[in-house]
Amino acid sequence: MMAGIIAGGLGTRLSAAYGSTVKPLVPVLGVPLVHHVVAGLGSAGAKSMVLLHNSAGDEVRTYLESAFPAVIWTFIRADTPSSWASFQLVSMELASNTDRFIVSTVDALISPQDVARFSQSAFEPLSDGVPAGTLGLTAFVDDEKPLWADVDDSGRVVRLGPDATDQKAVTCGLYALRRETVRRMQGTFAHSSLREFWTALVRSGEPVRGVLLGKAVDVDRPEDVLVAERIASCFDA
């Protein structure tokens, strides 16, 4: 099992409260945010991980190599122009070594139990075949710009983003992809954001699975840390 983490953002909205602390190391219940993400991926069986960080995030690598010495790490140091570019780089690295994998954003706080459940069900066949990709979803909406997802009874995402009409669940920063899908991503930075890529994939008619998880929060603002701490305090309950 291999997994990736996108940690290339600048975290500007958190800097007012946390100064020079880079986003992956912002503490949640006294533990860096990235620690929670790695622990969750580890609960899903990931023993090898690819992490992308920007040029200001070298200390993230130092922390992770010390905190998780058993993980086989691959670090990509890059100042990417968008979330899509970061996702593409991480996905291409993973796809060079495995035919299916999961990727988390570094600011997605999700219970380890839910990450494991997502991994187990991400590639279950849909009515028209194995999904090209899978989105983790939550009905807990606490985001400035939520990406809504409409899912049918079979678990297929039928509408995403501006096309969604039911608006009962949103994406939560956890994804799964197959190598074949990544190959079609290579050689292009056509999308301006990660949400644009997934919206285009759903619109294309490719089968995309949605897995509804429990409470999850995208940690972008200082107030999100408080929400994350309340959620994380219940992870082992």
Element (H, E) at 208: strand 208-213
**Sign of the torsion formed by the C-alpha atoms of 193, 225, 50 and 211:** negative
Question: What is the tens place of the pLDDT at every residue in 70-116?
Answer: 999 999 999 999 999 999 999 999 999 999 999 999 999 999 999 99
**Which position has the token pair 């949605």?**
210
Per DSSP, the residues of 56-112 read T-HHHHHHHHHH-TTSEEEEEE---SSHHHHHHHHHHHHHTT-SEEEEEETTEEE-H
Domain boundaries, the chain: 2-232
Residue (of 90, 42, 88, 45) closest to 67 by Cα position: 42
- 2-232: CATH topology: Spore Coat Polysaccharide Biosynthesis Protein SpsA; Chain A (3.90.550)
Specify which residues 150 forms β-bridges with: 159
Give the residue-averaged pLDDT of 13-37.
91
Question: What is the tens place of the pLDDT at every residue in 186-203?
Answer: 655 578 899 999 999 999
Answer with the residue of higher pLDDT: 169 or 16. 169
pTM surpassing 0.75? yes
Looking at residue 188, its pLDDT comes to 53
Q: Which of 21-25, 140-144, 172-176 has maximum average pLDDT?
A: 172-176
Is pLDDT at 183 greater than 90 in this prediction? no
Looking at residue 236, its pLDDT comes to 66
Is pLDDT at 47 greater than 70 in this prediction? yes
Looking at residue 56, its pLDDT comes to 92
Residue 44, helix vs strand vs coil: coil
Looking at residue 155, its pLDDT comes to 96
Looking at residue 143, its pLDDT comes to 79
CA dist., res. 134 & res. 7, Å (int): 20
